[in-house]
Chain A
Amino acid sequence: MSGSLHDVKNDVWMRAVIVSVIFLFVGGAAYGAFAVGVGSVKKTDWDAADEVLVEAKTNWNLLNETEAGGTSEEIADLNQQKEDARIAYDEAKEAEIDAHLSYLTWITAGKTLLVMMIIYAAFYGISGFYNSIQPEEEHDDHHGDDHEEHHGSASPIMMAAGLMLFMIGFPGFVNTCKSLLGLDYQAEMGDFGLSIVGAAITIIGIGNWWNEDLKGQHEQIASSEPFQGQDIRKAGMWVFLISETMVFASFFSSYLRMRTGWCTEWAVDAGKCEVVDTITASDLLRHEVGTLLPGAINTFALIISSYTIVLALKVAKDTEWKPSENALMAKMFPTRKKAVRNYLIITLALGSMFIVLKLVEWSHLIAEGFTIDTQAGSIFYVATGAHGLHVFIGLLVMLFMVFKADVLEDGYNEQNGQGIEYFGLYWHFVDLAWVAIFPAFYLY
Chain B
Amino acid sequence: MGEHKYTGPIAGIFQKMADIIGKDVYYVNFLILMFFTLFEVAAVFFETIPGTDIKITRTAVWGVLIVVGIIKGYGIAAFFMHLKGDPFIYTRTALFPIIFAALMLWGIGLSNPSGIDELPSWCTPNWDYSYVTE
Tell me the bound Cα distance from A443 to B114 in angstroms.
23
Is there an interface contact between B93 and A432, defined as CB atoms closer than 8 Å?
A: no
Chain A residues with Cβ below 8 Å from B33 are 303, 306
Q: Given A249-B100, A267-B117, A269-B58, A260–B93 Cβ distance below 8 Å?
A: no
Q: Is A154 an interface residue (CB 8 A)?
A: no
Chain A residues with Cβ below 8 Å from B81 are 424-425, 428-429, 432
Q: Is A223 an interface residue (CB 8 A)?
A: no
Minimum C-beta distance from A310 to chain B (A): 5
Is there an interface contact between A260 and B119, defined as CB atoms closer than 8 Å?
A: yes
Q: Is B17 an interface residue (CB 8 A)?
A: no
Stretch from A57-65, A98-106, A250-258, A400-408 at the B interface: A250-258
Minimum C-beta distance from B108 to chain A (A): 4
Chain A residues with Cβ below 8 Å from B100 are 246, 249
Is there an interface contact between B116 and A292, defined as CB atoms closer than 8 Å?
A: no
Q: Is A296 an interface residue (CB 8 A)?
A: yes
Q: Is B84 an interface residue (CB 8 A)?
A: no
Chain A residues with Cβ below 8 Å from B96 are 242
Q: Is B10 an interface residue (CB 8 A)?
A: no
Across the interface, A424 reaches (CB within 8 A) one of B62, B80, B98, namely B80
Chain A residues with Cβ below 8 Å from B119 are 260
Q: Scan residues 41-92 of chain B and give those whose CB is less than 8 A from a CB of chain A.
A: 41, 44-45, 57-59, 61-62, 65, 68-69, 72-73, 76-77, 80-82, 87, 89-90, 92
Is there an interface contact between B97 and A245, defined as CB atoms closer than 8 Å?
A: yes
Q: Is A266 an interface residue (CB 8 A)?
A: yes
- Report, as a range, how many residues of chain B touch the other chain: 35 or more
Chain B residues with Cβ below 8 Å from A443 are 40-41, 44, 61, 65
Is there an interface contact between A314 and B2, defined as CB atoms closer than 8 Å?
A: yes
Q: Given A261-B116, A318-B1, A253–B109 Cβ distance below 8 Å?
A: yes
Tell me the bound Cα distance from A357 to B110 in angstroms.
32
Tell me the bound Cα distance from A311 to B25 in angstroms.
12
Across the interface, A249 reaches (CB within 8 A) one of B80, B93, B97, B118, namely B97
Is there an interface contact between A439 and B65, defined as CB atoms closer than 8 Å?
A: yes
Q: Is A313 an interface residue (CB 8 A)?
A: yes
Is there an interface contact between B97 and A306, defined as CB atoms closer than 8 Å?
A: no
Is there an interface contact between B109 and A432, defined as CB atoms closer than 8 Å?
A: no
Q: Is A81 an interface residue (CB 8 A)?
A: no
Query: Beta-carbon contacts of A222-261 to B below 8 Å, as 1s and 0s?
Result: 0000110010001100110110011001101111111011
Q: Scan residues 88-134 of chain B and give those whose CB is less than 8 A from a CB of chain A.
A: 89-90, 92-94, 96-98, 100-101, 104-105, 107-112, 114-119
Chain A residues with Cβ below 8 Å from B24 are 314
Chain A residues with Cβ below 8 Å from B57 are 270
- Report, as a range, how many residues of chain A touch the other chain: 35 or more
Q: Is A12 an interface residue (CB 8 A)?
A: no
Tell me the bound Cα distance from A296 to B44 in angstroms.
12
Is there an interface contact between B97 and A226, defined as CB atoms closer than 8 Å?
A: no
Would you call the interface of chain A mostly helix, strand, loop, or mixed? helix
Minimum C-beta distance from A380 to chain B (A): 16
Across the interface, B37 reaches (CB within 8 A) one of A255, A256, A300, namely A300
Chain B residues with Cβ below 8 Å from A246 are 97, 100-101, 104
Is there an interface contact between A267 and B73, defined as CB atoms closer than 8 Å?
A: no
Q: Is A307 an interface residue (CB 8 A)?
A: yes
Chain A residues with Cβ below 8 Å from B27 are 307
Tell me the bound Cα distance from A432 to B40 in angstroms.
15
Is there an interface contact between A256 and B73, defined as CB atoms closer than 8 Å?
A: no
Q: Is A366 an interface residue (CB 8 A)?
A: no
Chain B residues with Cβ below 8 Å from A115 are none
Tell me the bound Cα distance from A286 to B93 in angstroms.
36
24 contacts between A and B (CB under 8 A): A235-B93, A238-B93, A242-B96, A253-B107, A253-B108, A254-B109, A256-B109, A260-B109, A260-B112, A261-B112, A261-B116, A262-B116, A272-B117, A286-B44, A303-B33, A306-B33, A311-B26, A314-B24, A428-B81, A429-B81, A435-B69, A436-B73, A439-B69, A444-B61
Residue positions of A touching B, CB distance < 8 A? 226-227, 230, 234-235, 238-239, 241-242, 245-246, 249-250, 252-258, 260-263, 266-267, 269-270, 272-273, 286, 289, 292, 296, 299-300, 303-304, 306-307, 310-311, 313-314, 317-318, 421, 424-425, 428-429, 431-432, 435-436, 439, 443-444
Closest 8 CB pairs of A and B: A256-B109, A249-B101, A260-B115, A270-B58, A253-B109, A253-B108, A245-B97, A253-B104
Given A256-B108, A443-B41, 17 other A-B residues pairs in contact with their CB atoms under 8 A: A238-B93, A249-B105, A253-B109, A257-B110, A257-B112, A260-B116, A261-B112, A266-B58, A286-B45, A296-B37, A311-B26, A314-B24, A318-B1, A431-B76, A432-B81, A435-B76, A443-B65
